[in-house]
Chains A and B, each alone.
Chain A
Amino acid sequence: MANPEVILKVNDLVKHFPVFNQSLFRKQIGAVRAVDGISFDVRKGETLGLVGESGCGKSTAGRAILQLLRPTSGEVVFDGVDLVRLKGEPLRKMRRKMQMIFQDPYASLNPRMTIGEIIGEPLLVHNLASKTEAEEQVQALLKLVGLNPSFANRYPHEFSGGQRQRVGVARALSLNPSLIVCDEPISALDVSIQAQVVNLLEDLQHQFNLTYIFIAHDLSMVRHISTRVAVMYLGQIVELTDRDELYHNPLHPYAQALLSAVPIPDPEVEAKRQRQILEGDVPSPRNPPSGCHFRTRCPLADTICAELKPAFREVLPDHFVACHMVK
């Protein structure tokens, strides 16, 4: 790739949630280290997949990037501006360019607003359109996401999960953003509906040259939709590379185990597969293991892994990994 344009640069992003004791003075006794120092670039027009299991910090990372949660430390440089340092009106202006699609289409739409009001609200909040202009744009957006424009006066409960997720997509598009963080946009949907939403997201990406950060736990879908994939474990990125490279040549032991755990819908292939089963559970992010966070479940772990946090380094062109055992 010839010098791809970087639209977003995340540098050592950290988000800790403080834990307090029960006393009157609420002394801080620790922190849940949800995101514990992640760095990556997002290139214009690409889809960066962010995968990991529940509790690995992938959603927190998405929200911290958009400043929906203010990061504890680190930098998020978007369009040349560090969002972490911004606040008030300048931050509000930047928010127009970055939007989010949420996981649960049942909980993310206000049940007391019509879907026309939901989709049009961002335009009014940002003073970008008058009421009548907003109504026109809502009609156009509904058509764009494959819903009947006459639905604008209906309420969310009148729609199915897949249709609601289309409303969520239309709302995210209303401000004409350049970056959209999709936080598990399909995991609450049935299989046959998932494909509808994924196809819609791909169509819109081509049409408007959108950049996506696609957060998911379904590796098959991530491989399908992403350009590059970052694998997270316990608040850190352990591997980041091109989607095909990750599948053909996973280097981090966790990425290898994760890939081997995904069932493949083909009995002939399944019968021949060797599974790499990980022992035990993910440790608590309140008290992660020293050194490499994965070492307690890692088949390759050595003494160095407990002593030193592995650096996140480029071992092959465009292939980053954080593991002492990878040469």
Chain B
Amino acid sequence: MTDLLDVQGLQTQFRTREGIVHAVNGVSFKLKEGETLGIVGESGCGKSVTVMSMLRLIPSPPGKVTGGTAMFQGKDLLQMTSDEIRHVRGAQISMIFQDPMTSFNPVLTIGMQLTEPLITHLGMTRSQAYERISEMLKLVGIPNAMERLNDYPHQFSGGMRQRAMIAMALGTNPQILIADEPTTALDVTIQAQITDLVKRLRNDLGMAMIWITHDLGIIAGLAQRVNVMYAGYIIEEAPVKRLYANPQHPYTLGLLGSLPRLDLGSRKRLTSIEGIPPILYSVPTSCPFSPRCRFAIERCLHENPPLIEIEPDHRSACWVNPGSGKER
């Protein structure tokens, strides 16, 4: 399989009153055709900023992409003219957002908003676009699609709005779908509806996907590969089964330990990670996780570890082997 997207050394900073925040610090990853990549991390870890930087959606100022490349179909997204990147965003890389309540314009009908990318980027006529979008709405399971296109967003429930958002994102037949916590604002039964739908569509349409979430549960059933992020760094990357079976970074280990399992129902005390994630005002000279890490050794305080290969396709940014507790 070929690489559809190749991001190398992406860096993003934000200028704030307290100083320059290093939000993304040299993130590199690839996305193959038809593959689903999960990006997992807690709030503020830079997972959303990573994809927003890639698509040039970071408001500047205060944000600035300060380095890196993002190659898509032989061209660097970060160097494209604004017309080119608009076309990519409109037709080739679609994005769905977390909050289905605020990502629609409340004063335009659903139909007007959903057909806009088709008319602007694919040059369809209004009636062609309405035709296509009502098909898409049927596909995502909204009944009476043609009539519902005249509704306004407030007439849709949260789950329906997220479906409509998916219909819009898929209407242009994109190569890549980026989903930024699309189910976080929804209830579990609706979340199950949406993930089920996305899985089905992904398999039918054969597109690649980047799924951003803080929920290790959702990713387990959805992704083929996972990047775990912390403080603007990818700290572990692995095929999904390896990550859960053999986590190699203390942070991943801690995250998995702090989740109770519905199916096991053990009453064992959860292993919590003490402390809170840092905000980086300068490039760290130590491992950014070391203040919260129970495996930390002397070396962690002087040298920020790069990603180290553990086994083929599985890399972790840690000087210590958490299995043995010794230096690698």
A residues within 8 Å of B by Cβ? 53-54, 160, 162, 190-196, 198-199, 202, 217, 219-221, 223-224, 243-244, 247, 257-271, 273, 275, 277-278, 281-282
Contact = CB atoms under 8 A, between A and B. Distances in A.
Interface stretch (B11-19, B129-137, B183-191, B295-303): B183-191
A262 B241 contact: no
A54 B190 CA distance: 11
A259 B188 CA distance: 9
B272 interface: yes
A223 B214 contact: no
A130 B221 CA distance: 56
Chain A CB within 10 Å — which of B190, B218, B257 has the most? B190
A49 to B, nearest CB: 12
B305 to A, nearest CB: 20
Interface string B185-217: 001111111011000000000000000001111
Interface string B237-277: 00011001100000000111111111101010111111011
Contacts of B257: 195
22 contacts: A192-B42, A196-B272, A196-B274, A217-B188, A219-B262, A223-B260, A224-B260, A244-B265, A257-B189, A258-B189, A259-B262, A260-B192, A262-B262, A263-B191, A264-B221, A265-B244, A265-B261, A267-B220, A270-B220, A270-B221, A271-B221, A281-B159
A264 B188 contact: no
B262 A247 contact: yes
Nearest to B45: A190
B285 interface: no
Given A260-B192, A265-B217, A192 B272 contact: yes
Contact of A263 (B214, B215, B245): B215
A contacts with B: majority SS? helix
Given A196-B274, A264-B220, A277 B192 contact: yes
B258 A192 contact: yes
Given A195-B272, A220-B217, A263-B221, 11 more contacts: A191-B42, A192-B272, A194-B258, A199-B272, A223-B262, A263-B220, A265-B220, A266-B263, A268-B244, A281-B159, A282-B187
B187 A265 contact: no
Contacts of B260: 220-221, 223-224
Given A195-B271, A219-B188, A266 B276 contact: no
A244 B264 CA distance: 10
B265 A275 contact: no
A265 B188 contact: no
Contacts of A268: 241, 244-245
B125 interface: no
B157 interface: yes
A23 to B, nearest CB: 23
Contact of B261 (A190, A195, A220, A282): A220
B307 interface: no
Q: Which 8 A-B pairs have the closest CB atoms?
A: A263-B217, A270-B221, A195-B258, A224-B260, A195-B272, A261-B192, A53-B187, A195-B270
Contacts of B193: 277-278
Contacts of A282: 187
B160 interface: yes
Given A160-B276, A244-B265, A266-B244, A192 B254 contact: yes
Contacts of B269: 199, 202
Nearest to A263: B217
Contacts of A202: 269
B128 interface: no
